[in-house]
Chains A and B, each alone.
Chain A
Amino acid sequence: MLLDARDLHVEFHTRDGIAHAVNGVGYAVDAGQTLAVLGESGSGKSVTAQAVMGILDTPPGRITQGRILFRGRDLLTLKGEERRRIRGTEMAMIFQDALSALNPVMTVGDQLGEMFVVHRGMSRKDARARAVELMERVRIPAAAQRVRDYPHQFSGGMRQRIMIAMALALEPALIIADEPTTALDVTVQAQVMDLLADLQREYRMGLILITHDLGVVADVADRIAVMYAGRIVETAPVHDLYKAPAHPYTRGLLDSIPRLDHKGRQLYAIKGLPPNLTHIPPGCSFHPRCPMARDVCRTDEPPLYEVSETRGSACHFWRECLDG
C-alpha cells in the first residue's frame, strides 16, 4: 500500500471548546489508484489531508492519535527535515484556489523552474526548459511565451492546470487534490479532470481526490470514502456504493441530488444540520438526522462494520440499508 492512514484523530482548541474535527479516520490508496473522499462542508476532509501532508496548523490543531504509513514508514514519527523532503518530492497537493496557492509576484516559469533547481540541482536554463515542457504537458497554449507571465494573467482553468503542473513536476508517488475543480465552470472542470486522470494513469500515481460532488466521484474514482462529522461512515468500490449504499447518510445524499436525465419529483432532503464539532452527539453521530435510527444508535457508537471484503459501513443497521 502506498499510503495507509490509520485511526487518525485531530482536534482544534477553539474559544468554544475542543472541536473534534477528525475522529478515527482511516483510508488507504495504492499506486495508480484514485480514492475519492466525499463529505459535506466541515466533515473533516481537508483537515485529514493536511495531517497526511504534514501541513496542519499546529496550534490550534493537534494530532492526538493515529499513524500515517507512507511506503511503509510512519510519517508522524519522522524528523522535520525528512518529512519536508518527502512532502516536497514524493507527495504533492493541489488546492481549490490556485490564485492563493501560487506566488503572485513570481512568473509561473520561475515557480515551476525553482522546483528543479532546489530539488534536482538543475541550472536555471535547464529548469526553464523543463518548465516550458511541463506547461505544454498540461496543455497551456504558447507555453514558451507564457512562461514569463504571472499567475493573475491566466484564466482560472489555466491557473489550475499550472498548479497541476507544479504538483507533477517531480513526479510524486502520491497526489492529494482538495476540490481541484470546485471553483471552475463545468466545461473547464471537464478539461481539468480529464487532464488529471490522464496524467495519473501515465505516471501511475496514487490520487486522493477530495470533493463534495457525487458526479465527479462517479466519473473518476476507483474507491470512495464518505465522511461525516470527522469519521468515515462508508467506504466501498464506487460501483458498489452507487448501486446499493450501506449507510443511510450515503443513501440520503444519493437521493437528494437532482437528475440531469429526467425531471424528478420532490427531492429527498436529509433533515436537520450537521453537528457542531464541539458537541458531537453520542452513539452514532448521524442519529439525529437518520430516518432509520433506533435506541442503540443513540448510545452505542457503531464501528466500521465489514460489509464485504472491500466494503465497510459505520451503521448498526447496514444490512437493512443495503437491502433498501
Chain B
Amino acid sequence: MAEPILEVSGLVKHYPLTRGVLFKKQIGAVKAVDGVDFTLAQGETLGIVGESGCGKSTVARLLCGLERPTAGTITFKGEDITRLSGKALKAVRRNIQMVFQDPYTSLNPRMTVGDIIGEPYDIHPEAAPKGDRRRRVQELLDVVGLDPEYINRYPHQFSGGQRQRIGIARGLALRPEIIVADEPVSALDVSIQAQVVNLLARLQTEFDLSYLFIAHDLSIVRHISDRVAVMYLGRIVETGRDSEIYDHPTHPYTQALLSAVPVPDPDAREHRERIILTGDVPSPADIPSGCRFRTRCWKAQERCVVEVPALAVPAAFRDAAGPAAHPSACHFAEEKQVVPPEESRLNGNGPG
C-alpha cells in the first residue's frame, strides 16, 4: 500500500458531564470517541459504518479541526495536526475538507450559491485572488454538474440532490487532498443518491482525492469504499478490505449489522439467517466493561466482561493468509457468511 496520507492513532473525544451551576462538578463523560486508530492512503476511500451515536460525526469533526481531541494524534503527511495552531493549523485545514449530511440545513438560506461556494476563499484568500473568484466558482459548479448560470440563485431554488452538489462544490473549492463526507447521500432519494455517488467517484479520479466516507447504509459504503471500518460505541470493532468485511466478517456485531440489512431480492427472504440483536445500544456515558458489545452479543462469556478485546487479527486466523485474517476486536471471532451471494441480476446498466 502507498504511504498513508493520514494516520489516526489513539483518538479520543470525551464530553464532560457536569452538575451544578456555580461550581460545575464533573460527574462523568460522554465517551463519544474512545480510542480510534486508522490510516488513509492517497487516493483511497475508507468507509466508516456504524449505528446512530457510535461517534462517526465526532471523528469527522476532529479530523477537520472543528473540535480538539481529548487525546490521540492525527498525522497528516507526517505532521501531527492536533499540536498545530494559528497559521500552521489553518494551512493544514485547507487540505482536509468536509461535506455534510443535510443538504437542507447545511447551506445558509440567505446566501447565494456563488457566496456559499466561494466562502472558503474568504477564510483562505491566498487560495484565489479576488478577481478570479467568480470564474473559479463557475468552474466548480460545472465540475459538479450544475449550470454555471445558477451562481446567483439561492439554496431554496434547488432540489435536495442539487444542494448536495453545492455542498460538494464548496468542499472542493480549496483543492483539498482529503474529503471527509459525513452521510453525504443519506437524505436523498435512491435515484438522486446514485447521481451523487457517481459524482463523488468521478471527482476522486479526476482530482486524486482521498475520501473518508461516513454512512450508516452498508450497501453504499461497500460500493464506494476500498476499506471499511465498523464502529460501535466510540471504537472500531472490525476493519478490512471491503470483501473481508462483507463476505468474511468475524466480529459478531458486524455479522448482526450485515444480516439486518434488507436486500432488494424477495428470494433471499427464505434462505437468509437474521441475527436479531436484543436490547438497545448502551449509553456512551456508561460503557460496559470488557468488550463494549457484550450486552447485546449472543456469544458473550465471562471473559468478555473482564477483558477488553484488542483490535487485531484474531489468533485463530493469524497464520492463515485468507480473507478472515483481518483485525477484529472479539475474543471469540469466527467467520460467518451472512450476506448470501446472489446472481448479478440487478447489476444491469439501466433500462433501454
Report the number of A-B residue pairs with Cβ-Cβ less than 8 Å.
160
Q: Which of A2-10, A23-31, A189-197 contacts B (4 or more CB under 8 A)?
A: A189-197
How far apart are the CA atoms of A21 and B246 in the complex, in Å?
41
Q: Is the CB of B268 within 8 A of A218?
A: yes
A218-B268, A261-B341, A262-B341 are known contacts. Are A256 and B193 too (CB-CB below 8 A)? yes
| Number of B residues with CB within 8 Å of any CB on chain A | 59
Chain B residue nearest to A259 in the complex (CB): B219
Q: Is the CB of B261 within 8 A of A218?
A: no
- Closest CB in chain A relative to B238 CB, distance in Å: 15
Q: Is the CB of A218 within 8 A of B198?
A: no
Q: Is the CB of B263 within 8 A of A215?
A: yes
Chain B residue nearest to A273 in the complex (CB): B159
User: Does A292 belong to the interface (CB within 8 Å)?
Assistant: yes
Name the B residues within 8 Å of A59 (CB-CB): none
User: Does A268 belong to the interface (CB within 8 Å)?
Assistant: yes
- Closest CB in chain A relative to B62 CB, distance in Å: 22
A270 contact from B191, B258, B261, B269, Cβ within 8 A: B191
Q: Is the CB of A187 within 8 A of B260?
A: yes
How far apart are the CA atoms of A235 and B228 in the complex, in Å?
37
User: Does A77 belong to the interface (CB within 8 Å)?
Assistant: no
Chain B 293-327, CB within 8 Å of chain A: the 1/0 string? 00000000000000000000000000000000000
Chain B residue nearest to A41 in the complex (CB): B189
- Closest CB in chain B relative to A49 CB, distance in Å: 18
Name the A residues within 8 Å of B340 (CB-CB): 261
A215-B262, A273-B159 are known contacts. Are A258 and B220 too (CB-CB below 8 A)? yes
Interface centre among A256, A264, A265, A292 (most CB of B within 10 A): A256
How far apart are the CA atoms of A306 and B350 in the complex, in Å?
23
How far apart are the CA atoms of A253 and B51 in the complex, in Å?
25
Q: Which of B3-11, B70-78, B114-122, B274-282 contacts A (4 or more CB under 8 A)?
A: B274-282
Name the B residues within 8 Å of A253 (CB-CB): 190-191
Q: Is the CB of B51 within 8 A of A261?
A: no
Name the A residues within 8 Å of B197 (CB-CB): 258, 267
Interface centre among A194, A217, A259, A261 (most CB of B within 10 A): A261
Chain B 249-279, CB within 8 Å of chain A: the 1/0 string? 0000000111111111111110000101111
Name the A residues within 8 Å of B262 (CB-CB): 189-190, 193, 213, 215-216, 218-219
A40-B189, A259-B223, A269-B195 are known contacts. Are A215 and B264 too (CB-CB below 8 A)? yes
How far apart are the CA atoms of A265 and B224 in the complex, in Å?
10
Q: Is the CB of B261 within 8 A of A215?
A: yes
- From 173 to 190 in chain B, residues with beta carbon under 8 angstroms from any chain A beta carbon are 189-190
User: Does A308 belong to the interface (CB within 8 Å)?
Assistant: no
B201 contact from A185, A266, A271, Cβ within 8 A: A266
Name the B residues within 8 Å of A189 (CB-CB): 260, 262
Chain B 196-214, CB within 8 Å of chain A: the 1/0 string? 0110010000000000000
B190 contact from A193, A212, A262, A290, Cβ within 8 A: A212
Name the A residues within 8 Å of B265 (CB-CB): 218, 242
User: Does A83 belong to the interface (CB within 8 Å)?
Assistant: no
Name the A residues within 8 Å of B257 (CB-CB): 186-187
Q: Is the CB of A291 within 8 A of B266?
A: no
B342 contact from A217, A252, A261, A324, Cβ within 8 A: A261
Name the B residues within 8 Å of A158 (CB-CB): 280
How far apart are the CA atoms of A189 and B261 in the complex, in Å?
9
Q: Is the CB of B350 within 8 A of A255?
A: yes
User: Does B218 belong to the interface (CB within 8 Å)?
Assistant: yes
| Number of A residues with CB within 8 Å of any CB on chain B | 55
- Closest CB in chain A relative to B209 CB, distance in Å: 17
Name the B residues within 8 Å of A265 (CB-CB): 347, 349
- Closest CB in chain A relative to B283 CB, distance in Å: 10
User: Does B161 belong to the interface (CB within 8 Å)?
Assistant: yes
A260 contact from B161, B218, B347, Cβ within 8 A: B218
Q: Is the CB of A258 within 8 A of B189?
A: no
How far apart are the CA atoms of A159 and B257 in the complex, in Å?
21
A252-B351, A258-B222, A259-B346 are known contacts. Are A269 and B191 too (CB-CB below 8 A)? yes
How far apart are the CA atoms of A179 and B195 in the complex, in Å?
23
Name the A residues within 8 Å of B351 (CB-CB): 248, 251-252, 255, 290-292, 321
A256-B193, A257-B219, A291-B352 are known contacts. Are A218 and B260 too (CB-CB below 8 A)? no
How far apart are the CA atoms of A185 and B53 in the complex, in Å?
10
How far apart are the CA atoms of A263 and B192 in the complex, in Å?
19
Q: Is the CB of A214 within 8 A of B350?
A: no
User: Does B105 belong to the interface (CB within 8 Å)?
Assistant: no
Name the B residues within 8 Å of A238 (CB-CB): 266
User: Does A155 belong to the interface (CB within 8 Å)?
Assistant: yes
User: Does B52 belong to the interface (CB within 8 Å)?
Assistant: yes
Name the B residues within 8 Å of A66 (CB-CB): none
- Closest CB in chain A relative to B220 CB, distance in Å: 5
Q: Is the CB of A242 within 8 A of B264?
A: yes
User: Does A239 belong to the interface (CB within 8 Å)?
Assistant: yes
Q: Is the CB of B51 within 8 A of A185?
A: yes
User: Does B194 belong to the interface (CB within 8 Å)?
Assistant: yes
Interface centre among A248, A259, A260, A266 (most CB of B within 10 A): A260
Which residues of B are in contact with A by a Cβ distance under 8 Å? 51-52, 159-162, 189-195, 197-198, 201, 216, 218-220, 222-224, 242-243, 246, 256-269, 274, 276-280, 339-342, 344-352
Known: A215-B264, A239-B267, A262-B347; 20 extra A-B contacts, CB below 8 A, are A141-B279, A157-B280, A186-B51, A186-B257, A187-B257, A218-B269, A242-B265, A251-B351, A252-B350, A254-B346, A255-B350, A257-B346, A258-B220, A259-B223, A260-B219, A267-B197, A269-B191, A291-B351, A292-B352, A321-B351
Which residues of A are in contact with B by a Cβ distance under 8 Å? 40-41, 141, 155, 157-158, 185-191, 193-194, 212-219, 238-239, 242-243, 248, 251-271, 273, 290-292, 321, 324
> What 4 pairs across the A-B complex have the smallest Cβ distances?
A215-B262, A258-B223, A291-B352, A268-B350
6 A-B contacts, Cβ less than 8 Å apart? A219-B266, A242-B267, A258-B224, A259-B346, A261-B263, A261-B340
